[in-house]
């Protein structure tokens, strides 16, 4: 042990250094958020509670029940049941997400060819019952109204860039290109 | 043998194979859409293009024969470009509605577009907007069709129907039934499996699940005795659809409508969910415990009072061999009675008896491929494509390959339509036709050709003396010349085959028909392989082989059912004698006179409605089991769904009942049962040929009172009394009908679709009439599947297994009671 080390030990230099930082913080603005009162805004693309996108034209869910979200879901927490509706159209009978099993990877959002499922910025949904966290189609649509609403479309299109447009039939004949 | 090079690999191949076939045999991948193993090359999709060195153009691999020394490339930049262009052109009209298309995930076009195609097309045209065409079971979406023609070709070439074809030209080409009407075919669904895209789909499966949600299990079809392998697709424990998969099972991918759509009988509304016990005249729900104790006490009482011989049991031709064996064991060890039998007594037992009387064998399993390569095949008064559809297909296949298919049948069946020669004989005159052939063969000296001396030849010659061509042609109602021509072709052929079916449902053939066929074949020096008589249902042969029949002199089915009062208690397992057995009146009387009737079934059948106790059994695919098909192959099937309600597998019910009766059968699990079954030795018998003269029974003739012959039988969409439980099959046909010829309709004043009264000396029924030219004058054809039609009440039974066509009288109801 050198003399320098001995001095450091006897006079608690390290501890004093640390306390000096503490002292200095006493005079600065606190970084702590007073969470329940003060909420942190979610960043763009935050993966919170799930929602089904409402089609502004019809007011119904955009989902057509293609099942790609359920196929890609790594925790297998999406259940889709479809049936033949009136005039032989495909109708999504039930669309259910077991939120407690979700790992928030958002693969479902990326896989969806119609931009019909989304993770909202809402993150406060702990509950005392599992049943309340089993999302049905109605609950998921309500989630959209509550947490995304009008500005949701904007945010959603900008950030996730859903692939639905790629499936649209082009209006005009594309120009010939030499390949 | 030829030698060629594909992708630098030297390959040997048979001459005559196409490039695609050679590549497939050597695991070299060439994309294709319109090619099908079962069909002739078509070259419609142009995706299987390959480069052949020395050829300027790209060649279609599916229709170019491989040649010696060919050097073929299957994957070059040039080919990639060509395939991409072909796909782009296919996608010009194909809608990109994969998210709602049921085929997505298993779509061949989707896979190929993913593999080769660009994500955008250079071409743009107005997509088609034709409406979807729905029919009972098959859904057509013309927009998605890529016109590969597989459905058209499988329907005509393979299935022999030709319900659909191309209509229109150019961009307007589409696949449609004649005159763009609603599809009304036999609903085999082969086109659905053949379609590479989502243009054809099964209606019950429509929008029910995505391909990747399904789990698949292989099972064995519960309907006929061909024993096809079904691939069941389940989602969350419910069967959603059935597919035939290429290369699997005896059917090799082919399925009929019953197999493909009939699986939903297990979800039928009439399924039993709890045991029922009759209390004060009503069947009331009960618990297993209470019911089993009640059954045990009653059986014990009856045994004590009347002896074990007063108790009988009927096994099932649809339950597994395990269940039937357990019933036999229960009857033998717990009751101590040998009164046990199955419906085979009214069909297959006659066949076996006839074979024993002639060839001396006890078993004659059929071979599915037997018609192929034969010079002449004779199908005798049997609608094989209805009763055993996949076996029936082999006859069409043989015909396509050059076999002379001769059909002797009064009905214009599918085989008759596709035959080389259709002889429209009178109903129930098949035996006489065969005797005429024997007579002709003897005249031709066929019996002298063989060196082998067969016992009883003199008796045979004597017995067929009266059946001269002139006499026979008069009896069967055809020209003498026509008969002689057919006879000479049959007798002088190199190889030949006779196929027919015999069953409880069919009353125009019987023991003597098989006997005559066997005699004829022996005379011509043919062994038992040339006589193909399949057993009726999925496990008719299995029940027989597992010993569900009297083996120690007990009462057989006749004595049990057609002898009222001979039994005091009857245990019926999975059989509905009131519907499926002829002479319903006597059967009903027998059942009503019983002191105690137990019915163990999957649904509340007509017989169960008379029972004192009804026990709910688990259905096919709700339990494990084994069927022995008509080829004699034991095929186990797995349990894939959970039993409905409180139902329990048949063998477990019997095990539990034995326990309640304080008997240990020594069987606790299925493995033990199977082990015991595997120890059963079956005696196939030694071939010892002898002629057995045929006595044509005095068949009931038409009289002035009963001027028309009624023939009962099976139709394409139904099988026994089971298939009516299936909603899908009922969509096609749910009501009983009687087919009547236009001439008779005119004569008796019957209009198409009206109810007519049919009466025989045994009773009368009211059935809807269908005027059809499938039927000759003087004949009625009635399917037997529908309980409410009570057709079997008109038909007499035949103890000796002879044909027993029924002369009946018909009256139009509109003339009997004029409508106001």
Domains of chain B: residue spans and CATH: 2-75 (3.10.20.740), 119-267 (3.30.70.20), 286-343+538-668 (3.40.50.740), 348-532 (3.40.228.10), 708-812 (2.40.40.20)
pLDDT of B611 above 90 = yes
Q: How far is CA B414 from CA A151, B39, B182, B774, in A?
A: 65, 19, 20, 10
Nearest to B99 among A66, A174, A176 (CB): A66
Range with lowest mean pLDDT among A162-171, B80-89, B91-100, B566-575:
A162-171
What is the torsional sign of CA B106, B107, B108, B111? negative
Q: Which residues of A touch B100 (CB under 8 A)?
A: 64-66, 90
Averaged confidence pLDDT in chain B: 91
From the list B450, B449, B439, the residue with the least C-alpha distance to B516 is B439
Nearest to A174 among B98, B124, B134 (CB): B124
From the list B22, B49, B23, B45, the residue with the least C-alpha distance to B34 is B45
What is the torsional sign of CA A30, A36, A42, A48? positive
Measured distance CA(B61)–CA(B6) in Å, rounded: 11
Task: Please report the pLDDT score of residue B543 as a whole number.
Answer: 93
From the list B91, B6, B3, the residue with the least C-alpha distance to B48 is B6
A116, part of any domain:
yes
- Give the contacts of B788 (CB within 8 A, at least 6 positions apart): B736
ipTM topping 0.90: no
Range with lowest mean pLDDT among B427-441, B526-540, B597-611, B686-700:
B686-700
Nearest to B213 among A64, A67, A83 (CB): A67
The verdict on B280 touching A (C-beta cutoff 8 Å) is no
The whole domain housing A60 covers 50-161
Q: pLDDT tens for residues B370-382?
A: 999 999 999 999 9
Q: Which residues of A touch B105 (CB under 8 A)?
A: 71
Are B338 and B559 within 8 A, CB to CB?
no
The verdict on B114 touching A (C-beta cutoff 8 Å) is no
Measured distance CA(B52)–CA(B30) in Å, rounded: 14
Task: Please report the pLDDT score of residue B818 as a whole number.
Answer: 45
Nearest to B99 among A84, A114, A177 (CB): A114
Measured distance CA(B806)–CA(B281) in Å, rounded: 36
Q: Which residues of A touch B209 (CB under 8 A)?
A: 67, 82
Q: pLDDT tens for residues A94-120?
A: 999 999 999 999 999 988 888 889 898
The verdict on B461 touching A (C-beta cutoff 8 Å) is no
Are B728 and B739 within 8 A, CB to CB?
no
Q: Please give the full DSSP string across B7-35, using - where no structure is assigned.
A: TTEEEEE-TT-BHHHHHHHTT-----SS-
Averaged confidence pLDDT in chain A: 86
Task: Please report the pLDDT score of residue B120 as a whole number.
Answer: 67
Are B463 and B438 within 8 A, CB to CB?
no
Are B541 and B535 within 8 A, CB to CB?
yes
CB contact under 8 A, A70 and B210: yes
Q: Which of A94, A174, A177 to mutate to test the interface with B (most CBs of B within 10 A)?
A: A174
CB contact under 8 A, B100 and A169: no
From the list A128, A113, A117, A112, the residue with the least C-alpha distance to A152 is A117
Q: pLDDT tens for residues B22-32?
A: 999 999 999 99
| H/E segment holding residue B139 | strand B138-140
pLDDT band at A173 (very low <50, low <70, confident <90, very high): low
Q: Residue B314: helix, strand or coil by DSSP? A: strand
Are B258 and B729 within 8 A, CB to CB?
yes
Taking CA–CA distances from B85, the nearest residue in chain A reads: A179
Measured distance CA(B491)–CA(B499) in Å, rounded: 16
CB contact under 8 A, A64 and B99: yes
Task: Please report the pLDDT score of residue B506 as a whole number.
Answer: 87
pLDDT band at B820 (very low <50, low <70, confident <90, very high): very low
- The percent of residues in chain B predicted with pLDDT above 90, rounded, is 71
Burial B606-623 (b: 16+ CB within 10 A, else e): bbbebbbbbbbbbbbbbb
Question: Helices B511-523 & B348-358, crossing angle to 10 degrees?
Answer: 30
Are B191 and B164 within 8 A, CB to CB?
yes
What is the nearest CA distance from A47 to chain B, expressed in angstroms? 25
Question: What average pLDDT does the segment B775-786 reach?
Answer: 92
Q: How many domains does chain A have?
A: 1
CB contact under 8 A, A90 and B96: no
pLDDT of B507 above 90 = no
CA dihedral A121, A124, A125, A127 (to 10 degrees): 170
Question: What average pLDDT does the segment B122-141 reach?
Answer: 83
Measured distance CA(B151)–CA(B163) in Å, rounded: 10
The verdict on B126 touching A (C-beta cutoff 8 Å) is no
From the list B370, B665, B319, B382, the residue with the least C-alpha distance to B514 is B382
A15, part of any domain:
no
Measured distance CA(B632)–CA(B57) in Å, rounded: 51
CB contact under 8 A, A169 and B132: no
Nearest to B124 among A71, A91, A173 (CB): A173
The verdict on B166 touching A (C-beta cutoff 8 Å) is no
CA dihedral A125, A129, A133, A136 (to 10 degrees): -130
Taking CA–CA distances from B235, the nearest residue in chain A reads: A81
Q: Which residues of B touch A82 (CB under 8 A)?
A: 207-209
Task: Report chain A's C-alpha Rg in angstroms.
Answer: 26
Q: Looking at residue A134, which CATH number applies to its domain?
A: 3.30.70.3270
CA dihedral B522, B527, B529, B534 (to 10 degrees): 40
The verdict on B92 touching A (C-beta cutoff 8 Å) is no
Question: What average pLDDT does the segment A71-84 reach?
Answer: 94
A39, part of any domain:
no
A127, part of any domain:
yes
A36, part of any domain:
no
Q: Which residues of A touch B120 (CB under 8 A)?
A: 174
Measured distance CA(A103)–CA(A75) in Å, rounded: 7
pLDDT of B20 above 80 = yes
What is the nearest CA distance from B70 to chain A, expressed in angstroms? 31
- The percent of residues in chain B predicted with pLDDT above 70, rounded, is 98
Q: Which residues of B touch A170 (CB under 8 A)?
A: 124
pLDDT of A177 above 60 = no
| CB–CB contacts below 8 A, A to B | 48
**Cα A25 from chain centroid?**
35
Q: Which residues of B touch A68 (CB under 8 A)?
A: 99
Q: Which residues of B touch A83 (CB under 8 A)?
A: 207-208
Q: Which residues of B touch A80 (CB under 8 A)?
A: 210
Question: What average pLDDT does the segment B451-472 reach?
Answer: 87
Are B252 and B369 within 8 A, CB to CB?
no
Task: Please report the pLDDT score of residue A170 as a whole number.
Answer: 54
Q: Which residues of A touch B119 (CB under 8 A)?
A: 166
What is the nearest CA distance from A89 to chain B, expressed in angstroms? 9
Taking CA–CA distances from A179, the nearest residue in chain B reads: B81
Task: Please report the pLDDT score of residue A165 as a whole number.
Answer: 58
A19, part of any domain:
no
A43, part of any domain:
no
Nearest to B122 among A64, A114, A174 (CB): A174
CB contact under 8 A, A174 and B208: no
Measured distance CA(B578)–CA(B120) in Å, rounded: 64
CB contact under 8 A, A167 and B96: yes
Task: Please report the pLDDT score of residue B136 as a whole number.
Answer: 86
Are B438 and B523 within 8 A, CB to CB?
yes
Q: Please give the full DSSP string across B207-267, using - where no structure is assigned.
A: TT--GGG-EEEEEE-SSBTT-PEEEEEEETTEEEEEE--TT-TTTTT---HHHHHGGGGGG
The verdict on B122 touching A (C-beta cutoff 8 Å) is yes
* Greater pLDDT, B702 or B101: B101
Q: Please give the full DSSP string across B672-713, using - where no structure is assigned.
A: HHHHHHHT----------B--------PPPP-SSS-EEEEEE
pLDDT band at A168 (very low <50, low <70, confident <90, very high): low
Highest mean pLDDT among A121-125, B85-89, B96-100, B219-223: B219-223
Q: Which residues of A touch B104 (CB under 8 A)?
A: 66
pLDDT of B525 above 60 = yes
From the list B321, B186, B188, the residue with the least C-alpha distance to B251 is B188
Instruction: Count CB-CB contacts under 10 A for residue B558.
Output: 17
Task: Please report the pLDDT score of residue B329 as a whole number.
Answer: 94
Task: Please report the pLDDT score of residue A57 as a whole number.
Answer: 86
Q: Which residues of B touch A65 (CB under 8 A)?
A: 99-100, 207
CB contact under 8 A, A71 and B122: no
pLDDT of B270 above 60 = yes
Taking CA–CA distances from B99, the nearest residue in chain A reads: A66
| H/E segment holding residue B415 | helix B414-417
The verdict on B132 touching A (C-beta cutoff 8 Å) is yes
Q: pLDDT tens for residues A17-26?
A: 999 999 999 9
């Amino acid at each position: 042990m050198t003399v320098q080390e001995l001095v450091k030990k006897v006079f608690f230099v390290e501890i004093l250094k640390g306390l000096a930082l503490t002292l200095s913080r006493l005079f600065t603005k606190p970084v702590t958020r007073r969470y329940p009162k003060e909420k942190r805004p979610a960043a763009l693309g935050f993966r919170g509670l799930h929602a089904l996108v409402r089609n502004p034209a019809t007011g119904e869910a955009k989902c057509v029940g293609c099942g790609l979200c359920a196929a890609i879901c790594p925790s297998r927490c999406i259940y889709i049941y479809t049936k033949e509706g009136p005039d032989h159209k495909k109708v999504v009978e039930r669309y259910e997400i077991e939120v407690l099993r979700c790992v928030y990877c958002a693969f479902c959002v990326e896989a969806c060819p119609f931009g019909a499922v989304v993770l909202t910025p809402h993150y406060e949904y702990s509950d005392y019952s599992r049943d309340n966290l089993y999302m049905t189609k109605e609950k998921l649509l309500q989630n959209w109204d509550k947490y995304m609403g009008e500005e949701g479309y904007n945010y959603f299109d900008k950030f996730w860039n859903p692939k639905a447009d790629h499936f649209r039939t082009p209006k005009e004949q594309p120009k010939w290109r030499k390949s | 043998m030829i030698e060629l090079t594909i992708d630098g690999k030297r390959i040997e191949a048979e001459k005559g194979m196409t490039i695609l076939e050679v590549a497939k045999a050597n695991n070299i991948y060439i994309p294709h859409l319109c090619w099908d193993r079962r069909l002739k090359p078509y070259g419609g999709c142009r995706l299987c293009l390959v480069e052949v060195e020395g050829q300027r153009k790209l060649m279609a691999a599916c229709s170019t024969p491989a040649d010696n020394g060919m050097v073929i490339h299957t994957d070059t930049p040039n080919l990639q470009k060509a395939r991409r262009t072909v796909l782009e052109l296919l996608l010009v009209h194909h809608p990109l509605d994969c998210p709602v298309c049921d085929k997505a995930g298993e779509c061949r076009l989707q896979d190929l577009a993913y593999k080769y195609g660009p994500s955008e097309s250079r071409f743009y045209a107005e997509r088609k907007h034709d409406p979807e065409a729905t029919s009972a079971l098959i859904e057509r979406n013309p927009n998605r069709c890529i016109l590969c023609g597989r459905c058209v070709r499988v329907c005509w070439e393979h299935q022999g129907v030709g319900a659909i074809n191309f209509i229109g030209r150019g961009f307007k080409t589409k696949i449609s039934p004649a005159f763009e009407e609603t599809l009304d075919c036999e609903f085999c669904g082969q086109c659905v499996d053949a379609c590479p895209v989502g243009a054809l789909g099964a209606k019950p499966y429509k929008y029910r699940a995505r391909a990747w949600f399904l789990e698949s299990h292989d099972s064995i079809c519960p309907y006929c005795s061909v024993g096809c392998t079904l691939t069941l697709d389940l989602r969350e424990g419910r069967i959603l659809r059935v597919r035939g998969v290429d290369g699997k099972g005896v059917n090799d991918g082919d399925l009929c409508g019953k197999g493909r759509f009939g699986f939903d009988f297990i979800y039928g509304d009439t399924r039993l969910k709890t045991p029922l016990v009759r209390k004060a005249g009503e069947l009331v729900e009960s618990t297993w415990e209470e019911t089993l104790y009640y059954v045990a006490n009653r059986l014990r009482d009856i045994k004590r009072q009347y002896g074990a011989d007063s108790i009988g049991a009927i096994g099932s031709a649809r339950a597994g061999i395990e269940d039937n064996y357990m019933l036999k064991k229960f009857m033998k060890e717990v009751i101590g009675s040998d009164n046990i039998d199955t419906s085979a007594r009214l069909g297959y037992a006659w066949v076996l008896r006839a074979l024993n009387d002639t060839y001396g064998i006890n078993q004659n399993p059929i071979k599915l491929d037997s018609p192929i390569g034969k010079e002449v095949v004779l199908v005798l008064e049997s609608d094989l494509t209805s009763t055993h559809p996949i076996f029936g297909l082999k006859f069409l296949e043989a015909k396509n390959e050059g076999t002379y298919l001769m059909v002797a049948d009064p009905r214009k069946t599918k085989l008759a339509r596709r035959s080389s020669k259709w002889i429209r004989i009178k109903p129930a005159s098949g035996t006489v036709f065969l005797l005429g052939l024997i007579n002709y063969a003897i005249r031709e000296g066929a019996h002298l050709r063989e060196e082998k001396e067969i016992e009883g030849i003199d008796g045979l010659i004597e017995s067929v003396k009266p059946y001269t061509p002139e006499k026979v042609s008069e009896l069967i109602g055809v020209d003498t010349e026509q008969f002689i021509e057919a006879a000479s072709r049959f007798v002088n052929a190199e190889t030949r085959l006779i196929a027919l079916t015999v069953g409880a449902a069919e009353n125009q053939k019987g023991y003597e028909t098989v006997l005559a066929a066997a005699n004829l074949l022996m005379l011509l020096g043919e062994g038992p392989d040339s006589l193909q008589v399949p057993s009726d249902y999925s496990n008719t042969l299995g029940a027989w082989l597992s010993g569900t029949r009297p083996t120690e002199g007990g009462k057989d089915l006749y004595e049990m059912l057609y002898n009222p009062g001979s039994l005091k208690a009857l245990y019926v397992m999975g059989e509905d004698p009131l519907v499926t057995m002829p002479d319903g009146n006597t059967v009903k009387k027998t059942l009503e006179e019983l002191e105690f009737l137990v019915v163990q079934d999957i649904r509340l059948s007509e017989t169960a409605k008379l029972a004192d106790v009804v026990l709910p059994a688990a259905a096919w695919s709700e339990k494990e089991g084994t069927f022995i098909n008509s080829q004699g192959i034991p095929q186990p099937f797995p349990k894939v769904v959970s039993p409905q309600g409180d139902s329990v597998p048949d063998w477990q019910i019997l095990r539990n009942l034995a326990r309640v009766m304080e008997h240990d059968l020594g069987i606790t699990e299925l493995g033990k049962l199977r082990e015991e079954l595997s120890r059963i030795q079956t005696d196939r018998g030694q071939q010892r040929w002898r002629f057995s003269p045929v006595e044509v029974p005095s068949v009931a003739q038409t009289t002035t009172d009963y001027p028309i012959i009624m023939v009962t039988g099976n139709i394409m969409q139904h099988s026994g009394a089971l298939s009516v439980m299936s909603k899908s099959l009922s969509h096609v046909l749910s009501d009983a009908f009687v087919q009547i010829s236009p001439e008779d309709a005119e004569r008796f004043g019957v209009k198409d679709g009206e109810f007519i009264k049919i009466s025989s000396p045994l009773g009368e029924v009211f059935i809807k009439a269908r005027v059809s030219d499938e039927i000759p004058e003087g004949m009625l054809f009635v399917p037997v599947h529908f309980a409410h039609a009570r057709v079997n009440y008109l038909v007499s039974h035949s103890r000796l297994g002879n044909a027993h066509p029924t002369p009946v009288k018909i009256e139009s109801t509109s003339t009997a009671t004029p409508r106001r």
